[in-house]
Structures are given as structure tokens and as C-alpha cells.
Copies of this chain bind each other. A is one copy, B any other.
Amino acid sequence: MVVEVLRLGHRGDRDKRISTHVALTARALGADKIIFTVEDEHVENSVKKVVESWGGNFKFVVEKHWKKYIKEFKKRGVVIHLTMYGANINEMMPEIKKIGRDKDILIIIGAEKVPKEVYELADYNISVGNQPHSEVAALAIFLDRLFEGKTLYRDFEDAKIKIVPSNKGKVVIRENQK
């Protein structure tokens, strides 16, 4: 199962840090790729720097024709829009996991008001709670549940820096110390 995240919309400076958190959360929790619909050099560089130091093959791409992208994706996978209006994640997750065994998953999260079309294009509109909170939180919980915590401590290929989990203090391994 390949998991991609589509970050729909991005209002420049206003969303710079949230969008970076979205991208890094996608990577850390097990997604393979993030698609932005708006260029932002700052966000792109932040993400690429993390990949360079911390390893793995996480991809950052910009795709302005996002409707076309979604329609193409549907030929090989299932499209899930995360929204506070969506169906209960607690009830839907078993079905999503079953689908994920054979199909790729595209997760859509909006930065601003999401066009009605997205609700219609998506195979599922799913909520992570129906309270206003954060698209970063929603994405994190969705991926954590989808992967059942298994992605959190996986090894990243070609990492120049690694952390060894520790209850006290910081244990960091850098490439030249290996």
C-alpha cells in the first residue's frame, strides 16, 4: 500500500509552518509522498532538508491540477478526505484498513475552505472527531491508526542522523560516529 497526502490549498506566509508540520507528519508517520497544490519554496526546502539528514524516500511534489490528480489516482486507489464533517473514524477505520490491503490511499487535507467537489470526488469523507482542532492532528491520528503504530520507529534508509529513544536525556547518533 502506497500512501500519499494531498495538501489542498496553502495561503503562503499564514500557512507556512502548519503546512511544514503537515508534510513532516506525513513523512514521520509512514506516508510516501506529499502533494502541494501551491508552490512554497520555504516549505519545500524544510522538507527536503529533513529528508537529506534523516533519510528515507519521502517525496515532495507540487501539482496545480489537483482535480486531475485525484481522478487519476482513483484508477489505482481510494481517496479519503479528512474533514470535521466526515463520518466517524472509529467506525470507518476497519473498512479503510481492509481496502488498504489491496489498494493505494490518497489522503486529502485542506488548508482553507474545501470546495464542494472534493466531498464528491472523495470515496470517503472521514472525521477525526467533529470538533474544530487541527489538520496536523487529524492526519497524525489517521496515519497512526492506519499503520497501528508500526511506522513510528521504523528505520529510514541513508539517515545521517538517528535518535535512540531514551527516558532521560538525548542520545543522538550521527553518521560520522557510526
Contacts and interface: CB of A to CB of B under 8 A. Distances in A.
B24 A132 contact: yes
A169 to B, nearest CB: 6
Interface residues of A, number: 58
Nearest to A16: B17
A50 B140 contact: no
Contacts of A69: none
A118 B106 CA distance: 39
B24 A134 contact: yes
A128 interface: yes
Contacts of A151: 129
A13 B122 CA distance: 35
A13 B88 CA distance: 34
Interface in A86-121: 86-90, 92, 119-120
Interface of A: 14-15, 17-18, 21-22, 24-25, 27-29, 50, 54, 84-90, 92, 119-120, 124-134, 136-141, 144-145, 149, 151-153, 156, 162-172
27 contacts: A17-B18, A18-B21, A21-B134, A24-B131, A27-B131, A28-B129, A28-B131, A50-B131, A84-B163, A85-B163, A85-B170, A85-B171, A85-B172, A86-B167, A87-B167, A89-B149, A90-B153, A125-B166, A125-B169, A134-B136, A136-B137, A136-B140, A137-B140, A140-B140, A140-B141, A141-B144, A144-B145
